[in-house]
Amino acid sequence: MGQLALQRLPPVASLPRRPPSLPPPSLSSATTASRRPLPHRFYVARAMSSHIVGYPRIGPKRELKFALESFWDGKTSVEELQNVAANLRKSIWKHMSDAGIKYIPSNTFSYYDQMLDTTAMLGAVPSRYGWEGGEIGFDNYFSMARGNATVPAMEMTKWFDTNYHYIVPELGPDVKFSYASHKAVVEFKEAKALGIDTVPVLIGPMTYLLLSKPAKGVEKSFCLLSLIDKILPVYKEVLDDLKSAGARWIQFDEPILVMDLDTSQLQAFSDAYSHMESSLAGLNVLIATYFADVPAEAYKTLTSLKCVTGFGFDLVRGLETLDLIKLNFPRGKLLFAGVVDGRNIWANDLFSSLKTLQTLEEIVGKDKVVVSTSCSLLHTAVDLVNEMKLDKELKSWLAFAAQKVVEVNALAKSFSGVKDETLFASNSVRQASRRSSPRVTNPAVQQNVAEVKKSDHRRSTEVSVRLQAQQKKLNLPTLPTTTIGSFPQTADLRRIRREFKAKKILEIEYVQAIKEEIEKVVKLQEELGIDVLVHGEAERNDMVEFFGEQLSGFAFTSNGWVQSYGSRCVKPPIIYGDVTRPKAMTVFWSSMAQKMTHRPMKGMLTGPVTILNWSFVRNDQPRHETCFQIALAIKDEVEELERAGVAVIQIDEAALREGLPLRKSEQEFYLDWAVHAFRITNCSVQDTTQIHTHMCYSNFNDIIHSIINMDADVITIENSRSDEKLLSVFHEGVKYGAGIGPGVYDIHSPRIPSAEEIADRINKMLAVLDSKVLWVNPDCGLKTRKYSEVKSALSNMVAAAKLIRSQLNKSENLSSSKFCSYYHFLLSLNLLSMTID
């Protein structure tokens, strides 16, 4: 028990495959298997009060990702996909059961997204997908997630302040809700057949509605909470179904309670659970909140609910909630104490967590405290035991999801009087090792950051003046076209990078192969007629990992994958120490690409805020200190790119909005330092060097003034998948004087938009934006698409830009011609001087 890192998830490959007899291919299809009663020791371990909010579903080696993509490509059957899913669920439940967890969640597995699962459960399928009732199958489910050949996907945006994306429900007064996916009860029965009693998890009705949006054609002012009475009957059906199946507990995830809700919203929350009280009878009810403090009024409303057995709180990011608990916690209720961090990979300080639990014991009593994770472990990597790249010291500082399960149980056992002294002693040594390691702190870097805070790092010239200087140098047409950065990453390209890392090919062979790929991308863009080119990022595995690998203070895993959305997984770097840039990171490739063309070639960088927000960040200093360190490193790279002759430099800040605190009272401070960090990166470049930035898949309207304050010359920003709601901010009168490229098509769908459709989008943009500042580009990078899709979509995009450009030129010529005719008319009447007077 002393070696926490060796506790691991059972390998999926070793689990038995599903029997040949299979149910119809619906979303909730699953198999069950009989299992002998578990040994007596199992029941003894489970007597400890421990709980896991949720668990990663991708598998320790991304088994779900590969199964999904194979199924989407038509290479494998629905039965094979379901086999992989069933084996993953079984391995997860077994791991938690064997570790001694008492309250094990079910229905946290998803083929794409838990919010989409809830949309399916409620039968809230938008009419464009042609669903005609009955159990929702994979065709409708994946069409909503990804779109298809004829209709676009539903909007996708960030899940609170995480890098996980959810599919946004589209609701209106005419939606007919019905119980259309029995996934929750099917998976509960599946676990029960394995001898494991689980807690089914549902997205709560308030969180579901308040994270939805009015459907197209519905007034923006439509009150989503007006639908509460329509969805509660479906929730009741689900609850009755679960009770009939033998469920004793139900977990409602209501993270919306950490947001700034008004009195009417809190009343609706209270009324909703009171309305479900009869269906909740006979069930123990847990309401889980996470990601931040629960505001005082929301806490009061939540803990006043009579039908609830236990309340779950994030006590890692929600330390102020602890003060509310000390003031008042309802007698007789269970407190699910989220003391193990579900969003980071640092080993828990067991002694510190135990102190917190002992404090709670004094308030609510030992038998009422349940040790839990701060949120779902979905947001951390799966299993540390699969890591071979990390050195022994660094590895000793970490805990992934599989290890966090063991931490939860170790704390629960210790709290109940069965303390593993060896484990706690080992944990103490590892915590001390991290605090004292010389690899963590660099005094010179700390001093540089202290100096940075003395200036606001604004460029010395206004953006309007800079744009004029840049236009003289770049000579771009009206409505210049560009892409966001990456081009498709083919299997051959990934193989070349793997072989180079494994030292199976020489560096000269690797450079030649990447050079050929860049040449192909450059030639394709020139043939398509794109105005500002990119080199395609063939040398990059990931937009954050690529930079982190070349910065000090970063470490990398071999299998530390985390789900971003659907089958898309990322491998976040681990920032363990102070950050510096030992040498140039992109100059070689960008300079090479620029020499291949006479057109402007963007130098592509990832910004400091995005690197921070898409990494596992050290928790021993404020996040903004780490961000400023990264900003100084990127600043060095920007200056070296400029010296190398790169005239357009894009510094992506895709995740700037993502890091926005959930509470309004904390947002100004974050935006101040995040925007400042971006400005640091490019404050010293010449006026003729054009600085771009890019943002994607978030709601930007509420931070538009901070985006303007970034002072970039051009911003490209996601727009098409979110029904162009970005444009509404300009309808409301916001003036944006820099270049801006709202995305004209969604790259996360295989659907190829027509030139006419893109032209229509451009015209909508021109209704609120000046043609002199408007750029034409996709929503995001093209890494996940196939070349066949990319060629067709970009060809249509360029054709649309040229069409609108031609129309604008005709309009200008016509206006000029009319003015000249009027001028000559006045002259002929000898009235010109009078008119001027």
* The 3-state secondary structure of 167-233, one letter per residue: ECCEECCCCCCCCCCCHHHHHHHHHHHCCCCEEEEEECHHHHHHCCEECCCCCCCCCHHHHHHHHHH
Give me the DSSP letters along 357-400: HHHHHHHH-GGGEEEEESS-GGGS-S-GGG--SS-HHHHHTB--
Residue 450 burial class via C-beta count within 10 angstroms: exposed 0-12, middle 13-18, buried 19 and up: exposed
The string of DSSP letters for 392-458 reads HHHHHTB--HHHHHHHHHHHHHHHTT---HHHHHHHHHHHHHHHH-TTT--HHHHHHHHHHTT----
Taking the chain, what is the end-to-end CA distance rounded to the nearest angstrom?
Answer: 94
CA-to-CA distance for 626 and 245, rounded, in angstroms?
50
Annotated catalytic residue within 165, 182, 535, 748: 748
* Cα–Cα distance, 638 to 636 (Å, whole number): 6
Residue 694 is among the residues annotated as catalytic for this protein: no
Instruction: Decide: 702 and 659 in contact? Cβ < 8 Å.
Output: no
Give the span between the Cα atoms of 433 and 275, in whole angstroms: 53
Name the DSSP letter for residue 616: E
Residues 702, 432: Cα–Cα separation, whole Å: 42
CA distance 290 to 764: 39
Q: Which of 549, 543, 542, 541 is nearest to 575 (CA)?
A: 549
Contact between 30 and 86 (Cβ < 8 Å): yes
Beta carbons within 10 angstroms of residue 803's beta carbon: 17
> What is residue 716's DSSP assignment?
E
Q: Please answer whether residues 473 and 647 qualify as being in contact, where contact means their C-beta atoms are separated by less than 8 angstroms.
A: yes
Q: What is the DSSP string of 99-151?
A: HT-SBEEES---SS-HHHHHHHHTT---GGG---SSS-BHHHHHHHHH--SSS
Residues in the chain: 837
Tell me the residue type at 229: D
Query: Using CB atoms within 10 A of its CB, is residue 577 exposed (0-12), middle (13-18) or buried (19+)?
Result: buried
How far is residue 310's CA from residue 138's CA, in Å, rounded to a whole number? 35
- With a CB cutoff of 8 Å and minimum separation 6, the contacts of 824 are none
Beta strands at 602-606 and 714-717: parallel, antiparallel or unpaired: unpaired
Query: Rounded to an integer, what distance in angstroms lies between the CA atom of residue 773 and that of residue 779?
Result: 17
CA 111, CA 475: separation in Å to the nearest integer? 48
Q: Supply the DSSP symbol for 4.
A: G
Do residues 112 and 142 touch, judged by C-beta distance below 8 A? yes
Q: CA 98, CA 402: separation in Å to the nearest integer?
A: 11
Residue 431, strand partner residues? none
Q: Which residues are catalytic?
A: 748
